Amino acid sequence: MHRMQSIAPNLLTTERLILRQWQESDRDAFARLNADPVVREFFPGVQTREESDADAARVQKAIEERGWGFWAVEVRGGASFIGFVGLSIPRIQTHFSPCVEIGWRLLKEHWGKGYAREAAVECLRFGFEKLTLQEIVAFTVPLNVRSRAVMERIGMSRDAADDFDHPNLEPGHPLRRHVLYRLSRSDWARLYAPGDTSVSDVHSATRK
């Protein structure tokens, strides 16, 4: 596992999106996102406003300290906050720790527009080019087919032997079992030309 780096705070951009540090004004929309049972379908439950604010503060602090993390996402010329996409160091200990994961969570009215994939591709580029990571992972529950589709569309792959039980959920919990996806630096270099944010040559499936 490549040693974690701390760098100057970064702002990432794509054709349609801006990935940036969190602002106080993001918290109302973030709380609405975390109170939505559809968005939180594959989490143990929805969050209270206090829990949501605590999560926002935690990811904001991570970006302040490292220069990267789960960035707040806004649409150029449009919505000022639609959720987050970015990179993080999972707090759980598993067979693939230590690691850097890629993740996303968007307000459901912004699903189906390709935003998660577009932002995730830029985060992969940042992770491999700027942080020089050797691997980036992603994980979710088996039934979360929407997120799994994004993982596959950005070039990640799953080996069933990597599947694991989430250590923070008790045995028998319906969400305990997780699937793990990986993308290595060498596979990223093979799939993506440097600086290319088009994934049409990687996966031609319908945009998520």
Q: Is residue 143 one of the residues assigned to a domain? A: yes
Measured between alpha carbons, how far is 74 from 77 in angstroms, rounded to an integer? 9
Q: pLDDT tens digits for the chain (208 residues)?
A: 444 555 656 799 999 999 999 999 999 999 999 999 999 999 999 999 999 999 999 999 999 999 999 999 999 999 999 999 999 999 899 999 999 999 999 999 999 999 999 999 999 999 999 999 999 999 999 999 999 999 999 999 999 999 999 999 999 999 999 999 999 999 999 998 655 544 444 433 333 3
Q: Is residue 35 one of the residues assigned to a domain? A: yes
Q: Note the pLDDT of residue 3.
A: 47
- Look at the chain and report how many structural domains it folds into: 1
* CATH (domain of 32): 3.40.630.30
Q: Is residue 204 one of the residues assigned to a domain? A: no
Range of the domain at 118: 12-191
Please say whether the beta carbons of 4 and 88 come within 8 A.
Answer: no
The one-letter code for the residue type at 175 is L
Q: Note the pLDDT of residue 7.
A: 60
Q: Note the pLDDT of residue 6.
A: 57
Q: Note the pLDDT of residue 120.
A: 98
State yes or no: cis peptide before 171, omega within 30 of 0: no
Q: Is residue 206 one of the residues assigned to a domain? A: no
SS (H, E, C) 65-93: HHCCCEEEEEECCCCCCCEEEEEECCCCC
Q: Is residue 155 one of the residues assigned to a domain? A: yes
Q: Is residue 88 one of the residues assigned to a domain? A: yes
- Burial label for 51, CB within 10 Å (0-12, 13-18, 19+), is middle
Please say whether the beta carbons of 137 and 96 come within 8 A.
Answer: yes
- Which tokens is 65 given? 């300290």
- CA 117-122-125 angle, 5° bins: 125
Q: Is residue 208 one of the residues assigned to a domain? A: no
Q: Note the pLDDT of residue 204.
A: 34
Q: Is residue 201 one of the residues assigned to a domain? A: no
